[in-house]
Structure 1
Amino acid sequence: MTSIGMSVASANLLRNGEIGTKGRDPLPRLLGQLTARAGTPVTVERAASRPWASALFQGRRHVITLSLAGPDAAARRAAFVAGIEEAEWSLTGHFVADLSIDDSYPMPGGEWIELSALTIEDW
């Protein structure tokens, strides 16, 4: 049987805390890079982030909807979608493990892009 002595002073206990910016949600930085890739004018219609974990990793799952406006929106959507799964993203303390386009379609005056991403804390 294993036991622990509770008379240890709390100052001697190790704290399991976040170091630097690793625990921060990378969604704002990811949104900045996605909107730069989409060009202007672009609007973030929806951006949600929630914790995600597996047996070995922890991170966040993101769902994002962008609307592109303007006469060149269809061409910008095609350029945005092309090769996005292999694109490199710069997220301090995290990396993009998966990014996929869930849907994209025309709308009056522009284009919609719905995507999801999985970011993992970089150890």
Structure 2
Amino acid sequence: MTSADHGFGPSGLVRHDRQGARQPDPLPRLLELLLARAGAPSTIERATSRPWASALFEGRRHIIRLRIDGADCVDRRAAFARDLDIAEWPLSGHFVADISLDEDAIDGEQAWLDLSALTIEDW
């Protein structure tokens, strides 16, 4: 067998180094904005966030369960859902590329909303 040194050692490889530091997870700020939109009293019952990427973008996929309480929960739920997909969500270092109401239920003076959102790093 023959061997050859082509000079492709570790120092000759192209590395993908992002410019600047990675942005923190925008989920805490997004939850604040969702609670403000829902009004008081409302609660985040569950929220998860996981990395997401496409060929051109990096971000996070969020799944959220929001509960709206009170005698006016039906009206507040309707107001919350109205124009949800075109609402402004000011997030530092990210933008909301997609947000949707996946499912909801009303039981007396409580409304539950299951939301999903995609945030993209804004570089």
TM value normalised by structure 1? 0.85
> Which blocks of at least 5 consecutive residues in structure 1 are unaligned?
9-13
How far apart in 1 are the matches of 2:8 and 2:116? Answer: 44
Structure 1 residues 5 and 73: alpha-carbon distance in aligned structure 2, compared to 1, 3 A threshold = same
How far apart in 2 are the matches of 1:16 and 1:5? Answer: 18
How far apart in 1 are the matches of 2:19 and 2:8? Answer: 25
Structure 1 segments, 4+ long, off by >6 Å, are none
Superposition pairs of residues 24-103 of structure 1, within 5 angstroms = 24-103=24-103
Number of aligned residues: 118
Q: CA deviation at 1:108?
A: 3.7
State the percentage of identical aligned residues: 54
Structure 1 residues 42 and 90: alpha-carbon distance in aligned structure 2, compared to 1, 3 A threshold = same
Q: CA deviation at 1:105?
A: 1.3
Contact 2:48 2:62 in 1 (8 A): yes
Contact 2:74 2:106 in 1 (8 A): yes
How far apart in 2 are the matches of 1:90 and 1:40? Answer: 20
> CA-to-partner distance for each residue in 1:12-57, whole Å, 9 max, x for gaps?
xx8935735x521000000000000000000101100000000110
| Pair 1:115 & 2:115 matched | yes
**Residue in 2 that maps onto 1:3:** 7
> CA-to-partner distance for each residue in 1:59-94, whole Å, 9 max, x for gaps?
000000001101011100000000000001100110
Larger radius of gyration: 2
> Which blocks of at least 5 consecutive residues in structure 2 are unaligned?
none
